[in-house]
Amino acid sequence: MSQSNIIVALDYSDANAALAMAEQLDPTRCRLKVGKELFTISGPEIVRNLQQQGFDIFLDLKYHDIPNTVAKACAAAAELGVWMMNVHTLGGPAMMSAAREAIGSNHDAPLLIGVTLLTSMDQETFETIGLQGTIPETVLRLAVMAADNGLDGVVCSAHETAMLKAELGSQFQLVTPGIRPAGSAKGDQHRIMTPVQAIQAGSHYLVIGRPITGAADPMQKLIEIENELR
Ligand SMILES: O=C(O)c1cc(=O)[nH]c(=O)n1[C@@H]1O[C@H](COP(=O)(O)O)[C@@H](O)[C@H]1O
């Protein structure tokens, strides 16, 4: 198993492109995230394939459904032997505890992580969908709910990690996308931080997609980020 805290997002529309990217990366120096696009087109086979190459897989399907359905989906993901998986905290306490129960708590169970508010969400969208208050207080409320219902951690913006660490302690895993090394394009992300800022703020894992996968030399970019973090 890799010790790296960098998770490279393999957001590809076909298995061959994803495998070609994985071949350029070192499984001892990063983990990989398989999300909705790649999994929808390639199914569990791509996960097995990447695992055979030695990669730990974060299966990012953000389950959000009735408790029974989410529990069964989580059990199926655990069967695949993924290292990390996620559900949406907005699914509520019963859904999260059903997910926990479905995968158990043995040391070899995947890490079960709750998505709080997406890093693409800004205050305007937050209000448009009818949420009240502020983004940080909502993220905190959802993260406390996740912890109370047995989740191992949350996906959040690095802007919230210091607050969550103070409230929930350093064992609660903070997984942060929206990471942009200096000079990288922001794209559709709104709440971003550099890798160094995110780690200093208390992130356990950095999810990085396009800044690495879109680089001319992805492994070199990964090494540059590692060096910045030393
Ligand atoms: O759950 C996630 O991984 C996730 C949550 C979130 O709030 N924001 C977010 O960007 N992500 C994922 O993190 C990755 C970020 O990719 P880049 O923006 O290319 O670095 C994408 O695969 C997103 O699906």
CA 54 – ligand 1 centroid, Å: 22
Distance of alpha carbon 133 from alpha carbon 152, whole angstroms:
26
Instruction: Tell me whether residue 122 is one of the annotated catalytic residues.
Output: no
Nearest alpha carbon, ligand 1 atom 5: 118
CB-ligand 1 contact for 222 (6 Å cutoff): no
Quick check: helix, strand or coil at residue 195? helix
Q: Which two tokens stand for residue 52?
A: 């055979």
Can you tell me the distance from the alpha carbon of 38 to that of 12, in angstroms, rounded to the nearest whole number?
5
The verdict on whether residue 11 carries a ligand-binding annotation is: yes
The domain locations on the chain are: 6-229
CB 207 less than 6 A from any atom of ligand 1: yes
Q: Considering the domain 6-229, what is its CATH architecture?
A: Alpha-Beta Barrel (3.20)
Instruction: Say how far apart CA 8 and CA 212 lie, in whole Å.
Output: 7
**pLDDT for res 191:** 86
What is the per-residue pLDDT for 2?
82
Alpha-carbon gap, residue 50 to 30, rounded angstroms: 12
pLDDT at position 207, please? 98
Q: How far apart are CA 143 and CA 119, in angstroms?
A: 15
Q: Cα–Cα distance between 45 and 57 in angstroms, integer?
A: 12
What are 41-94's pLDDT values in tens digits?
Answer: 999 999 999 999 999 999 999 999 999 999 999 999 999 999 999 999 999 999
165 assigned to active site: no
**Alpha helices (runs of H) in the chain, residue ranges in sequence order:** 15-23, 36-42, 44-52, 67-79, 93-103, 123-128, 135-148, 161-168, 195-201, 210-213, 218-229
Q: Residue type at 198?
A: A
- The pLDDT profile of the chain, 230 residues, written as one tens digit per residue, is 688 999 999 999 999 999 999 999 999 999 999 999 999 999 999 999 999 999 999 999 999 999 999 999 999 999 999 999 999 999 999 999 999 999 999 999 999 999 999 999 999 999 999 999 999 999 999 999 999 999 999 999 999 999 999 999 999 999 999 999 988 999 998 889 999 999 999 999 999 999 999 999 999 999 999 999 99
